[in-house]
Amino acid sequence: MNWQIRQFSSPQDLQPVLNLWASSGPGVQLSTSDEPAELMKKLTRDPDLFLVAVDGARIIGTVLGGFDGRRGLVYHLAVDPERRRQGIGKALMTELEGRLRAKGCLKYYLLVTPDNRGAIEFYQGLGWELMPLRAMGKRIE
């Protein structure tokens, strides 16, 4: 393994992470909450849950998590398509889970579109279970 995981560092990591998310395929669905100003707000809450995997100076993976004091959430996990199946996504999720556990988090969630079979299989391989729920959202901007 010639890559490592570290905490996101602003501002130098911002554009490479946005580029990675944009090139990761339909599984990472970006919205206005992923714009730079919104991500900077997120960093004021729990910066230790925004992680990047780097090979030298190049970002090859990232995970953005959150914790509200009761439950955790994975917002985005992305790995460079050329670096997939090397354990990077699993390592990012393992590190995030450890950090959530250290904060006292007992359960965390993520959203996956029903047609994203690859992601569903990946997460099931990490012990995640499908839940019979419907996600709802409301824009308040």
pLDDT exceeds 90 at position 20: yes
Q: What is the pTM of this model?
A: 0.91
Mean pLDDT of 16-31: 84
Mean pLDDT of 114-133: 93
- With vertex at residue 29, the alpha carbon angle to CA 27 and CA 35, rounded to the nearest 5 degrees, is 140
pLDDT exceeds 90 at position 55: yes
Q: Between 40 and 88, whose confidence is greater?
A: 88
Q: Residue 50: what residue type?
A: F
pLDDT at site 10: 83
pLDDT exceeds 90 at position 29: no
| CA 8/CA 50 separation, integer angstroms | 5
Class of the 4-125 domain?
alpha beta
Range name among 25-34, 94-103, 119-128 with the lowest pLDDT average: 25-34
pLDDT exceeds 80 at position 26: no
Enter the tokens of residue 137: 């959202």
Q: Tell me if 61 sits within 8 A of 53, measured CB to CB.
A: yes
Name the percent of the chain lying above pLDDT 70: 99
* Per-chain mean pLDDT for the chain: 92
pLDDT exceeds 80 at position 22: yes
pLDDT at site 66: 95
Q: Between 26 and 140, whose confidence is greater?
A: 140
pLDDT at site 30: 79
Enter the tokens of residue 64: 């953005």
pLDDT exceeds 80 at position 25: no
Q: HEC states along 26-95?
A: CCCCCCHHHCHHHHHHHHHHCHHHEEEEEECCEEEEEEEEEECCCCEEEEEEEECHHHCCCCHHHHHHHH
Cross-strand pairs, 61: 53, 79
